[in-house]
Structure 1
Amino acid sequence: MRLVVAKCSVDYEGRLRAHLPLATRLIMVKADGSVLIHSDGGSYKPLNWMNSPLTLREAAPDEDAAALGATSSWIVSSTKTDDKLTINFQSIEHDSAHELGTDPGLIKDGVEADLQRLLAEQIELLGDGHKLIRREYMTAIGPVDILARDGSGATVAVELKRRGDIDGVEQLTRYLELLNRDPLLRPVSGVFAAQQIKPQARTLAEDRGIRCLTLDYDAMRGVDDSAGRLF
C-alpha cells in the first residue's frame, strides 16, 4: 500500500463531475490498484475513490492547474469505463509504501450461528423444562433456527437474530403457519430471540402471540457476570 499525504485538488470525470478544492488529504493506493482519497474527518468513507482495474500515470500538471500552483499530477483512469480522476499536487508532505501481506479477513464474533449454538446448549433460557429437539429444523421454506419442547411437551419454534426487526417477526410467522399444519408438531408457539429487539418488532410479535426474548451474548458465553453487575 502506498500512502501519500499531500496538499492537492481532485477532479473526477465520469457519470458526473466532482471537484475537491485545494486541501491537505491522504491518498491511498492499494495493492489491487484502487485509489482512495481521505480527509481527516468523515469517519471511514473516502471523499472520492476509484476501484481497480485502472491505470495510474504521473504527469506534469496542465496549464490551468500549474497556474494555480500545482507541481505534479496523477491521472487515474478506469480500464473499463471513461471514469477519470485527476489529482493535482501542490506539495507532498509524506510518501511511503508498505507491504501488508495477505489479510485473513474479518472474523466475526456474536453472529447468529454463535447465538444459535449457545442457546441450543443453554435451552433453559427459554424457560424451565424446555428441551431441544434440534437446530436448523428444515421446512419447505427454510430452516427454523431452533425447535424445542416446553415443560408441557408443546413444540416451540425459535427465530434468532442479532438485531430483531419486523422482517424477523414476519419470517417466524411464516414458519409458524407452516409448522402448525403438521399434526405431529402442532400446536407450535413462537419465540423471537435477539440481542436487541426493536420496539416495533416487539409490538408486532406480541400482537401475534409470539414471545420475545432478549439474549445477553456475553453472559451466554461466560465472559460477563450479569448477575454481579450494578447497572
Structure 2
Amino acid sequence: MKKIANAPIPFDKLESILAKAACKQMIVIFGLCTAVFDGRIKSYLPHGERLLFIKKDESLILHGSTGVKPLNWQKAGDGKINYVSADDRFIVKTYRPKTKETLEIFFTEIYQATIYNASDSATLSIYGSESDLSDYLF
C-alpha cells in the first residue's frame, strides 16, 4: 500500500501520480465532489463527500456515505480514465467511445488518496441460492 495524500495535496501533483498508477494499481480517493454523466441519459450529482474506487482494469465506482449501490460507475474496458487538474478542481474523466458517454467527477477537496498494489486471483464460490434459503427457513 502506498498512501499518497492524507491532507491537501496539490492537484497537479496528484494528477501526475495517478496517471502513472493507472492500469497498474488500485486507486481510492475520498473527497468532496460533484459528478456529471452525459450519454443515453443525463445525470448530475451535487456536491457531497464520496469515495471513488478505480480498479486496475479501469472499472470505476463512486459511492456515497450510505447504501450498497454506487451513485455512478463505469465497467471495465468501457473507456479510458483521464486525470486533469484545472480551475482549482481535480477531475476524473471517462469517455466510452462505443456509446459516446462521458462521466466526469469534479473534486474540489480531496481528503485522502491511496494507491494499492492489490492482487487477488481468487474466484467466488457460491453455494445455494436465495430461494434455497427461503425454502429452508419457511
Common fold: TM-score over 0.5? yes
Contact 1:73/1:89, CA 8 A, preserved across alignment:
yes
User: 1:103 and 1:41, CA in 2 relative to 1: closer, same or farther beyond 3 A?
Assistant: farther
Could you tell me which residue of structure 2 aligns to residue 137 of structure 1? none
Contact 1:39/1:46, CA 8 A, preserved across alignment:
yes
> Structure 2 residue aligned with 1:55, among 49, 66, 80?
80
Contact 1:8/1:25, CA 8 A, preserved across alignment:
yes
User: After the TM superposition, which residues 9-158 of structure 1 pair with which residues of structure 2 at under 5 Å, given as runs?
Assistant: 9-42=34-67, 44-53=68-77, 54-61=79-86, 66=87, 70-109=88-127, 111=128
> Structure 2 residue aligned with 1:162, among 126, 132, 136?
132
Contact 1:38/1:47, CA 8 A, preserved across alignment:
yes
Which SS does the other structure have where 1:57 is aligned? Answer: strand
Cα distance in 2, alignment partners of residues 106 and 72 from structure 1? 35
Cα distance in 1, alignment partners of residues 85 and 28 from structure 2? 20
Cα distance in 2, alignment partners of residues 81 and 31 from structure 1? 22
Give aligned-pair identity as a percent. 23
The structure carrying a bigger strand percent of its residues is: 2
Higher relative contact order (CA 8 A, sep 6+): 2
Deviation at 1:163, TM superposition (A): 4.3
Whose Rg is larger?
1
Q: Is 1:6 matched up with 2:44?
A: no
Q: Is 1:196 matched up with 2:128?
A: no
Contact 1:52/1:78, CA 8 A, preserved across alignment:
no
Deviation at 1:82, TM superposition (A): 0.8
Q: TM-score, normalised by structure 2?
A: 0.71
The structure carrying a bigger helix percent of its residues is: 1
Q: TM-score, normalised by structure 1?
A: 0.44
**Partner AA of 1:108 in structure 2:** I
Name structure 1 gaps, 5 residues minimum.
113-160, 165-193, 198-231
Cα distance in 1, alignment partners of residues 95 and 76 from structure 2? 9
Alpha-carbon RMSD: 1.9
> Structure 1: which 4+ aligned runs deviate by more than 6 Å?
none
Which SS does the other structure have where 1:101 is aligned? Answer: coil
Name structure 2 gaps, 5 residues minimum.
1-25
